[in-house]
Structure 1
Amino acid sequence: MSKFEQLLTQIAQNKLGIETLETRKSDSLDFHDVAVWCLRDALEAAFNAGVEQGRKATKSDKANS
């Protein structure tokens, strides 16, 4: 599993209570009722992770210049 996939899985687990993002071919395992505030928290966590990755990439680019 890539770091990106691990991050998404961690967000799904922590914010949405979803054990895995793997398709398990079972409606009861693949479809989830999620409160809108939990979905908002998950989207915010994903956005913040992207911002942090961008900051790290910018710092790395500046250090290599």
Structure 2
Amino acid sequence: MRPIDALLTQIAQQHLGIETLQTRHSDSLDFHDLAVWNIRAALEAAFNAGLEQGRRAKSPEEANR
């Protein structure tokens, strides 16, 4: 599993109560009724993970500016 897939799955599990992001060809497993606050929390977690990844990817020269 690619790192991004693992991260997105973790976010889905923690914030949305979704076990897997793999298609399972079953409406009851592939479609979910979610509260907007859970969706917001998952989006915020994904955004923050992207920010953190960007911070780690910065070169040392950029970090000193």
Give me the TM-score of the superposition, normalised by structure 1.
Answer: 0.91
- What is residue 49 of structure 2 aligned with on the other side? 49
- What is residue 13 of structure 2 aligned with on the other side? 13
Which consecutive segments of 4 or more residues in structure 1 shift more than 3 A? none
What's the offset of the Cα at 1:62?
1.8
Give me the TM-score of the superposition, normalised by structure 2.
Answer: 0.91
Q: Deviations over 1:3-62 (max 9, x none)?
A: 10000000000000000000000000000000000000000000000000000001xx22
Confirm or deny that 1:28 pairs with 2:28.
yes
Q: Percent identity?
A: 69
Partner of 1:40: helix, strand, or coil? helix
Partner of 2:41: helix, strand, or coil? helix
Distance 2:46 2:28 in 1: 25
Partner of 1:25: helix, strand, or coil? coil
Consecutive unaligned residues in structure 1, runs of 5 or more = none
- CA-based RMSD of the aligned residues comes to 0.9
- What is residue 62 of structure 1 aligned with on the other side? 60
- What is residue 4 of structure 1 aligned with on the other side? 4
Consecutive unaligned residues in structure 2, runs of 5 or more = none
